């Protein structure tokens, strides 16, 4: 089977002042990166946001392919950093909050598939980063 190469991803980062930067993708979309977390997300907050966003995209996509329609999805990501440099995330805990009449086992399957197969951000993390998750569900079928 022939594999098709994945297109490269490029971000341009420009320094504004102090620890404030502007990150821009090839389509011109921008995000503020701030080492002080005053005017934008810090790089580590950005990483947590990327992980939660990647997982959310996967879960919605998988549930949609299962012909299940969530009404709402939010994820809270909490990261605990190593106490010495490099201060990488040693532990991350994700809380998935979903609303909709979707069987719990289908949601759990979608989250598990994201972790095991689809979430590119998760697979970029250090192998020794402990990632756990839990599910809060409203409007669950009886």
Q: What is the pLDDT of residues 60-92, one digit of tens each?
A: 999 999 999 899 999 999 999 999 999 999 999
Whether 3 shows a pLDDT value over 90: the answer reads: no
Phi, psi dihedrals of residue 40, rounded to the nearest 5°:
-170, -175
pLDDT of residue 7: 80
Q: Which two tokens stand for residue 106?
A: 């289908």
Sole residue written with tokens 């402990």: 130
Confidence of residue 5 (pLDDT cuts 50, 70, 90): confident
CATH 3.40.50 fits 1-41, yes or no: no
For the chain, the three-class secondary structure string (H helix, E strand, C coil) is CCCCCCCCCCEEEEEEECCEEEEEECCCCEEEEECCCCCCECHHHHHHHHHHHHHHHHHHHHHHHCCCCCCEEEEEEEEEECCCCCCCEEEEEEEEEEECCCCHHHHHHHHHHHHHHHCCCHHHCCCCCEEEEEEEEECCCC
Percent residues over pLDDT 70 in the chain: 98
Model pTM score:
0.89
- Domain map of the chain by residue range? 1-41, 43-138
Whether 97 shows a pLDDT value over 90: the answer reads: yes
CATH number of 43-138: 3.30.300.20
């Amino acid at each position: 089977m022939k594999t098709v190469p994945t297109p490269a991803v490029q971000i341009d980062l420009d320094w504004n002042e102090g620890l404030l930067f502007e990150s821009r993708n090839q389509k011109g979309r921008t995000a503020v990166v701030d080492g002080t977390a005053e005017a934008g997300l810090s790089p580590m907050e950005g990483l947590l946001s990327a992980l939660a966003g990647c997982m959310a995209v996967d879960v919605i996509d998988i549930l949609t392919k299962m012909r299940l329609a969530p009404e709402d999805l939010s994820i809270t990501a909490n990261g605990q950093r190593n106490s010495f440099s490099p201060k990488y995330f040693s532990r991350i805990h994700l809380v998935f909050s979903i609303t909709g009449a979707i069987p719990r086992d289908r949601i759990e399957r979608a989250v598990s598939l994201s972790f095991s197969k689809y979430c590119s951000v998760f697979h970029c993390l250090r192998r020794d980063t402990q990632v756990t998750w839990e599910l809060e569900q409203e409007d669950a079928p009886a």
